Amino acid sequence: MTCWYEGPLAAFDTETTGVNVETDRIVSAAVVVQDTPGGRPRVSRWLVNPGVPVPEGATAIHGLTEDHLQRNGRWPSPVMDEMVRELAEQSAAGRPIVVMNAPFDLTLLDRELRRHRASSLDRWFETVPLRVLDPRVLDKHLDRYRKGRRTLTDLCAHYGVELAGAHDAAADALAAMEVVRAIGRRFAARLERLSAAELHTLQAVWHAAQARGLEAWFARSGTDEAVDPAWPLRPELPAAA
């Protein structure tokens, strides 16, 4: 029986106007599908005119200017529908979805769906289970005492994965997928008996523990900063918030 990390996977990544999932917007996104390790990936890309200003700091990261997005990007409503339909189709086909730092990208997509489609991410996965593999959560749990940062660039360097064109949604999605496959192979003794569905449930527990640990570290450092334990999707804020 083929282990999940040697089988078909899909990956999702976004580029955005900023890092606040409640107020920032998606400006580009990609879904990458690969049926076998090393196989030729199939890529779906989207470019979005967010309808709001694009800060220079965001442009410096992903290279997408406000003028370029206004000229070439599509309006958000149909694009968000296409994105979530693609994720639902991949999930229905049994492919786990790799998402680096899933609570950011998936929550941002959820908020865009609420904003532009009067819908939500959960609504699309009421009958088709969403099984997420998050390389950040997996790496932090399986190699928890390793020092250093754990950005996608750092994980690629650690696991020997090439990252060509960082901060391009498709390049980042493919790299995250390759990191997940590399994690699976390196920790095969601990992972090969687990299904993607079991791992999805476990990652929610692992992420919550990681969030509590980070919050405790902040407290010891004299910083009163809360860390959201929800994974892979943060709950919707009350309207009053």
Band of the pLDDT at 226, cuts 50, 70, 90? confident
Pick the CATH number of 4-194 from 1.10.3720.10, 3.30.420.10, 3.20.20.70, 3.40.50.300: 3.30.420.10
Helix (H) or strand (E) holding 46: strand 42-47
Each residue's pLDDT tens digit, 147-177: 999 999 999 999 999 998 878 999 999 999 9
Cα–Cα separations (whole angstroms), residue 189 to 5, 95, 145, 201: 13, 22, 18, 19
Residues 11 and 31 sit within 8 Å (Cβ to Cβ)? yes
As a whole-number percent, the residues of the chain with pLDDT over 90 amount to 90
Q: Name the pTM for this structure.
A: 0.95
Order of strands across the sheet that contains 42-47: 42-47, 26-34, 9-16, 97-98, 132-133
Residues 215 and 227 sit within 8 Å (Cβ to Cβ)? yes
CA atoms within 13 A on the CB side of 163: 20
Q: How far apart are CA 220 and CA 93, in angstroms?
A: 46
* Structure-model confidence comparison of residues 223 and 40, the more confident one: 40
Band of the pLDDT at 104, cuts 50, 70, 90? very high
Each residue's pLDDT tens digit, 39-94: 999 999 999 999 999 999 999 999 999 999 999 999 999 999 999 999 999 999 99
Show me where the domains of the chain are located: 4-194
